[in-house]
Amino acid sequence: MGRKILLEKIDIPGINTFDGYRAEGGFSTVERALRSMKPDEVTEEVRISGLRGRGGAGFPTGLKWSFLDRKSNNPRYLVCNADESEPGTFKDRFLMERNPYLLIEGLILSSYALGSNTTFIYVRGEFKYIIGILEKAISETRKKGFLGKDILGTGYSLEIYVHSGAGAYICGEETALLESLEGKRGNPRIKPPFPAVKGLYGCPTVVNNVETLASIVPILAMGGMEYVKIGIGRSTGTKLISACGNINNPGVYEIELGLPVEEFLYSAEYCGGIKNGKELKAVIPGGSSVPVLPASLVCRTASGEPRLMSYESLADGGFATGSMLGSGGFIVFDEDACMVRSTWNLSRFYHHESCGQCSPCREGTGWMEKVLHRIESGHGRQEDIDLLVSIAAKIEGNTICPLGDAAAWPVASAIRHFREEFEFHVNNPALVSNPRHISFAKHSQVHV
């Protein structure tokens, strides 16, 4: 059994209530930190832990906190990114629903470290019931003296507010989130300046996601030096993984970073293997915005080494043979999956969610969707395949925010690894117009 930190007590009855959480040692870390630690000491523990942002980018959290402009006379803000809109990712929702007080405690510790007296939780618009859970938890925490003015008589004051988004994927990008929080259209900002210098309302701001901020609690409880012993190399600690697709045991799992992908995929403790005894075809390991890996590269790297659930191992070889851990949205495809249709479905999403601010993304995502739909519906041309590769290359790296990359990578990687399926669609229009007659089996070898 892998070590659990965030989900260790998730199934204890009443853990989602203040009294239940408190009975299990909840808020004891806040008591110790506020009474015996300086804010810089809290930040140093986070830096020592090696915790990397769990929202997708994997940037070192302690380093990000160190960039905060502490010389400014303006207020400082902490913003919790709970706008979990990445297709295939649902671990933050699970954490907020089942143990909201862990997040609240993490927010208090983080706000104290950053010198923030006002913190916002920006929640995805579709999570209406989660908003109610969070507001109740905040209210109970305030009643018990852990929020508000002069918390526990330490002189530190903090208020936490919940803000609902309107269901825009782009607002998962931190500067678009800040624009939305200010009441404006959620368009990403050009950087610099970075939020750490000029963020919410023009003030120094740190934005971290739910899992990252919840992880501050165990880090402060055990100490950064103990936390760094968990995991592997620069991928320290544990990671929540949202596993879905053609597997026997979909759900949210906490793994120690460094777990072999093969063990995660086939162990009864985790995914439990491919559903209905079918063969594995492909995996998107980090949410829909990262490159897909074919079965031949899922469990082994190009050099033959075991592929690990870590930031470094999943990226081994670059995008030619690797992918990204990302947000931990582990999407599994079996032998019958049509990679053309799956790629078209992802392109529809990114076209719909583009804010339209950058012309490569605005025009390119729509263009890719149209070409993929043409191929999938049996009207494709041979040159369409290389056209898609060209469009993706012209989008990647040429937009203000990473949504352009997120739209380009799945298309480019699907063609790189499953080009024969795209060619089959082009060469067999009558068959693909009735996909029930086709089985895309055995690592993309097409059978009729």
Q: Which secondary-structure segment (H or E) carries 364? A: helix 359-376
The helix/strand/coil state of 197 is: coil
Instruction: Concatenate the DSSP letters of all residues of 117-151 into one string.
Output: SEEEEEE-TT-HHHHHHHHHHHHHHHHTTSSBSSG
Residue 2 pLDDT: 74
**Predicted model pTM:** 0.93
CA-nearest of 88, 443, 417, 422 to 278 is: 443
CA distances from 197 to 56, 63, 82, 171 (A): 22, 14, 22, 20
Residue 445 pLDDT: 43
Residue 436 pLDDT: 53
Q: What does pLDDT average to in each consecutive run of 10 residues of the chain (448 residues)? A: 88 96 97 96 97 91 94 95 94 97 98 97 94 97 97 97 94 96 96 96 97 97 96 96 97 97 97 96 95 95 92 92 94 96 96 95 97 94 97 96 95 96 92 60 42
Produce one character per residue of 73-109: b if its CB has 16 or more CB atoms within 10 Å, e if not. eeebbbbbbbbbbbbbbbbbbbbbebbbbbbbbbbbb
Bridge-based pairing state of the strands 251-256 and 205-209: unpaired
Residue 447 pLDDT: 37
Q: What is d(CA 116, CA 161) in angstroms, rounded to the nearest whole number?
A: 13
Residue 442 pLDDT: 43
- Is the Cβ–Cβ distance between 161 and 155 less than 8 Å? no
- Is the Cβ–Cβ distance between 145 and 151 less than 8 Å? yes
- Lay out the sheet containing 329-334: strands in order across: 251-256, 238-245, 329-334, 280-284, 293-294
Query: Going from the N-terminus, what domains does the chain have, and what CATH number goes with each?
Result: 18-229 (3.40.50.11540), 232-334 (3.10.20.600), 339-447 (1.20.1440.230)
